[in-house]
Amino acid sequence: MSSQIRENLQKLFVLGISYKKSALDVRGKFSLTAEQQESLLNEAKENQIDGLVVLSTCNRTEIYAHTSESDFVVDLFLKYCEGNRDDFNSNGYTLFGNECINHLYKVTSGLDSQIIGDFQIVGQVKNAVHLSSEMGLENPFLNRLFSFAFQASKKIKNSTDISKGAASVSHAAVQYIKDKVSTLESCNFLLYGTGDIGKDTCGNLVKHMSNRSLTLINRTVEKAETLAKKFNIKYQTLDKLSEEVAKSEVIIVATGASKPTLLLENLEGNKSCKLILDLSVPRNVDSQIDKLDNVLVITVDELSKHISGAIEQRKECIPMAEEIIKASIGEFYSWLEVKYLSPVIVALKENLHKVQKKELEYHKNKLSEDELKKVEHITNNIVNKIARACINHLKDHHKQQSTPMETLEMIFKDMDS
């Protein structure tokens, strides 16, 4: 591996916090809203950083960076989230170079998801990369790395059964409702929040309901209206939240906000039994609601434990997925090698053509026009053959330790082929 590549890998790192080491309440402190993500990216750009991607989901908040200023990036993260340094040191992680690359591939392929094979993460990572690109923070190194990771993710999804079976947060929510609610057909449902997870949950829930007793509420009423029309169900404006809560036996909260959106006051005077599923991180259901005797609140972490059969089937696909990842990482490293050899290749071609031009200039007065054209054609072929042989050697054999004579033999062997 060349010194340039080693230097670039040393600048690559990911820092973050995820479900693997952190409980829901801790992850909530480190989650970043869309506004916080943009502010963080802006400040990074103002400080001359050109490679930074911020990912914040239910299960993880991560920053992928390509810069030598790792301490500054940690400070930036802690500035914009609500977590502190002690919590991060206890629960977070920072991975550099090869470890960072392996981690990214596992994240984008669903191998590192709380629910194995949940490919919703791919869209979330793509959105994060798109935001960085729009803000001028996706440098060429990160651009190619994420491109390779996305290609591997697509291949894993298409070549294995790792995403088959009902196993995602939205599927888990609906499965939990089916298992726990015996009066499914007569229940009134309220879905609060119609973002990506809310949409998926809505679609999955409607499949299992014949009476369509589902009402949607969203901060932006137009989004709720559009989704309601698609599934032929009801929607309401945000000011009717408490009223709809009172009517509903099952409430699903998928608002994805930075603080609770379903408050104790929304259940004021409630005496009926209610099941509330909070699909957001940080929690969007006020923790005070947990204390109500007639209310059961289920969080994302609890839902993830509810899936078993589909997960076991998916685990069988992990070895094949890891082989695809290994091959793709190898291709990425090969691309890096060629990328950093490009200036050498260009310089080689330019210098060979300079020699050819100088020699032709020296001999042109001794040759007729036809002879000069023939000589130019022959020397051009020789230059191209030498260049091609040297380039092939640089691409294919530059990692090998060889003597000068062995190097010459390999180059001229390429010329003979």
Q: In the numeric block, which tokens belong to residue 416?
A: 């003979």
Q: Within 10 A of 86 (CB to CB), how many other CB atoms are there?
A: 8
Helices (H), 135-263: 140-159, 169-180, 196-207, 221-231, 241-247
Which residue, chain included where needed, has tokens 């990912």? 55
| Whole-angstrom distance, CA of residue 36 vs CA of residue 410 | 55
User: Which neighbouring-strand residues pair with 62?
Assistant: 16, 55
Which residue, chain included where needed, has tokens 């006051």? 265
117 and 317 in contact (C-beta within 8 Å)? Answer: yes
The distance of Cα 266 from the centroid of its chain, to the nearest Å, equals: 35
| Whole-angstrom distance, CA of residue 112 vs CA of residue 156 | 14
The distance of Cα 412 from the centroid of its chain, to the nearest Å, equals: 45
- Which residue, among 223, 231, 166, 229, has the nearest Cα to 192 in the 3D structure? 223
Q: In the numeric block, which tokens belong to residue 267?
A: 């259940």
Active site residues: 58
Q: In the numeric block, which tokens belong to residue 148?
A: 């390779």
